[in-house]
Amino acid sequence: MKRHDFDDLAAFVVVAEERSFTRAAARLGISPSGLSHMMRLLEERLGVRLLARTTRSVATTEAGERLLSTLRPAFADINRGLQELGDMREKPSGTVRVTSVKHAAESLVIPMLSDFHREFPDIRIELIVGDRLEDIVASRFDAGIRLMETVDKDMIAIRVGPDLRAAVIGAPSYFSRRPAPETLADLADHNCINYYMASAGAPYLWEFDDRGRDVEIRVSGSWMVNDADMMVRAAAAGIGLGYVFEDSAKDHLRDGRLIKVLGEYCKPFPGYSIYYPSRRQVPPALAAFVDALRASSRRTWETAAS
Question: Model confidence over 160-197: pLDDT tens digits?
Answer: 988 899 999 999 999 999 999 999 999 999 999 999 98
Residue 176 confidence (pLDDT):
96
Helix (H), strand (E) counts: the chain: 10, 15
Please report, for residues 18, 23, 65, 144, the alpha-carbon distance to residue 72 in angstroms, rounded to integers and kept in the order given.
Answer: 14, 19, 10, 45
The pLDDT, as a whole number, for residue 137 is 82
pTM of this prediction exceeds 0.85: no
CATH 1.10.10.10 maps onto the chain at: 3-90
CATH fit for domain 94-162+270-305, picks 3.40.190.10, 3.30.70.20, 3.40.50.920, 3.20.20.150? 3.40.190.10
Question: Could you say which DSSP state residue 106 is in?
Answer: I
Residues in contact with 204: Cβ distance below 8 Å, sequence separation at least 6, in sequence order: 194, 195, 196, 197, 243
CATH number for the domain formed by residue range(s) 3-90: 1.10.10.10
Decide if pLDDT at 243 tops 80: yes
Quote the strand ranges of the chain, DSSP E.
Answer: 51-53, 58-60, 94-100, 123-129, 143-147, 155-160, 166-170, 193-197, 202-203, 206-210, 213-217, 223-225, 242-245, 259-261, 272-277
What separation, in Å, do the N-terminal and C-terminal C-alpha atoms of the chain show? Answer: 64
| Residue pLDDT, tens place only, 43-75 | 999 999 999 987 677 899 999 999 999 988 888
Q: Which residues of 100-124 are buried (b: 16+ CB within 10 A; e: fewer)?
A: bbebbbbbbbeebeeebeeebeebe
Residue span(s) of the chain under CATH 3.40.190.10 come to 94-162+270-305, 166-265
Q: Which CATH number fits domain 166-265: 3.40.190.10, 2.30.110.10, 3.60.15.10, 2.40.30.10?
A: 3.40.190.10
Confidence of residue 153 (pLDDT cuts 50, 70, 90): confident
Q: Which is it for strands 123-129 and 94-100: parallel, antiparallel or unpaired?
A: parallel
Is residue 304 over pLDDT 90? no
Contacts 24+ apart (CB under 8 A), 133-141: 133/199, 134/99, 136/99, 136/275, 136/276, 136/277, 137/277, 139/99, 140/97, 141/97, 141/98, 141/99
Predicted local distance difference test score (pLDDT) of residue 83: 65
